[in-house]
Amino acid sequence: MKRLTLLIMSFAYCAFTIAAELPPEWAYAQNPPNTSVVSADNTIRHVPDSNISYSFAQVKDLFFTPDWHPQDHTALPEVVAHGRKPDVFACGFCHRADGPGGPENASLAGLPKDYIVQQMADFKSGKRKSAVPDRAPVTNMQRVASVINHSDVEAAAKYFSSLKPRKNIHVIETTLAPKTFERGWHLAKLENGETEPVGNRIVEVPETLANFISRDSHAIFVAYVPKGSIEKGKTISRRSDKSISCTECHGEYLRGKNAIPSLAGRSPSYIVRQLFDFKTGNRKSENMQAIAETLTTEDMIALAAYSASLAP
């Protein structure tokens, strides 16, 4: 009897393991050691369309926001520019001076102020986690949210919500994509020009890696997606066979409504991660979880490709 019980438990465990959907590795890129393409030195760096210069040490300082294009925005609040030592990193270090972020984190430019404030509360309470528990962009936000004061949250949220987002992603439907490596929680293309099948994934990379490393808010990204993804995503976003459609809450062109955030023009890697986190219950929202549970990875890819193709 004991042997039979163990056998049944073993089969049940195997069935659960097979049924469990693993996070797509391409969307949850890690930061393996010894993969930096630039050494941490004090060389002076420049980016296009800016006469400002910073040292590499400055662009890697968690408590400093390189502001390459100050003409694009109003004065940075102190918490955005420098954070609060020792635990509150500069908001603009990860999300950039005027909030475009990157594939590894959220674009904040133009998000509703109350929405940003609520996300900080969710990171603090544990309602917002990642399907990959040790993923630094999320654990860093949890750490900051646990110690930041209310006035700094309000100042940052007010600033980022006042900004107008820019389109910074080119979406290309294709059968082939550049071969990549994982760097800094996102993918980057190999410089040898090699390609491989895009398959059932999104390959999102900086157009010029050096600019993104320098934390240039004008950095451009290219997202290679399976052929037919954009139209399929548009159809899924509007379909009425679910309890609620994407457009019902996020607007006809996914640009948000009231306190509901815009999805248009956002990183497709980020969108897939959020849908997967909702589906697995790592990010809490009754409406979003109910919708995400009905989506396959292919559906998520299509929705992300479509939303990324739209003007913000």
Domain boundary at 161, 184, 212, which?
A: 161
pLDDT bracket for residue 10 (50, 70, 90): very low
**220 and 112 in one domain?**
no
**180 and 75 in one domain?**
no
Domain boundary at 140, 161, 182, which?
A: 161
**290 and 212 in one domain?**
yes
Does residue 34 belong to any structural domain of this protein? no
Q: What is the pLDDT of residues 38-68, one digit of tens each?
A: 555 679 999 999 999 999 999 999 999 999 9
**265 and 186 in one domain?**
yes
pLDDT bracket for residue 13 (50, 70, 90): very low
Report the pLDDT value the prediction gives residue 52, as an integer from 0 to 100: 98
| Total count of domains within the chain | 2
**89 and 140 in one domain?**
yes
**245 and 147 in one domain?**
no
Strands 169-174 and 54-55, by their bridges, are: unpaired
**175 and 151 in one domain?**
no
Predicted structure pTM score: 0.91
Does residue 208 belong to any structural domain of this protein? yes
Burial 97-117 (b: 16+ CB within 10 A, else e): bbbbbbbbbbbbbbbbbebbb
Report the pLDDT value the prediction gives residue 240, as an integer from 0 to 100: 63
The residue ranking higher by pLDDT, 33 or 90, is 90
Whether the Cβ atoms of residue 198 and residue 176 lie closer than 8 Å to each other: yes
pLDDT bracket for residue 175 (50, 70, 90): very high
Residue 4 predicted with pLDDT over 50: no
Residue 185 predicted with pLDDT over 70: yes
**177 and 298 in one domain?**
yes
Does residue 99 belong to any structural domain of this protein? yes
Does residue 84 belong to any structural domain of this protein? yes
Give percent of the chain above pLDDT 70.
Answer: 89
For the chain, what is the mean pLDDT?
91
CA separation for the pair 310, 253 (Å, rounded): 7
**180 and 102 in one domain?**
no
**300 and 212 in one domain?**
yes
**208 and 77 in one domain?**
no
Does residue 11 belong to any structural domain of this protein? no
As a whole number of Å, the end-to-end CA separation of the chain is 62
CA separation for the pair 201, 1 (Å, rounded): 46
**268 and 183 in one domain?**
yes
Q: What is the pLDDT of residues 266-300, one digit of tens each?
A: 999 999 999 999 999 999 999 999 999 999 999 99
Give percent of the chain above pLDDT 90.
Answer: 85
Report the pLDDT value the prediction gives residue 177, as an integer from 0 to 100: 98
Does residue 4 belong to any structural domain of this protein? no
Q: Look up the CATH number of the domain holding residue 90.
A: 1.10.760.10
Does residue 61 belong to any structural domain of this protein? yes
- Residue 267, Cβ density class (10 Å: 0-12 exposed, 13-18 middle, ≥19 buried): buried
The pLDDT of 124-135, averaged and rounded, is 96
Rg of the chain taking only CA atoms, in angstroms: 20
Does residue 178 belong to any structural domain of this protein? yes
Q: Which domain holds residue 56?
A: 44-161
Report the pLDDT value the prediction gives residue 34, as an integer from 0 to 100: 59
CB atoms within 10 A of CB 230: 19
The pLDDT of 236-259, averaged and rounded, is 86
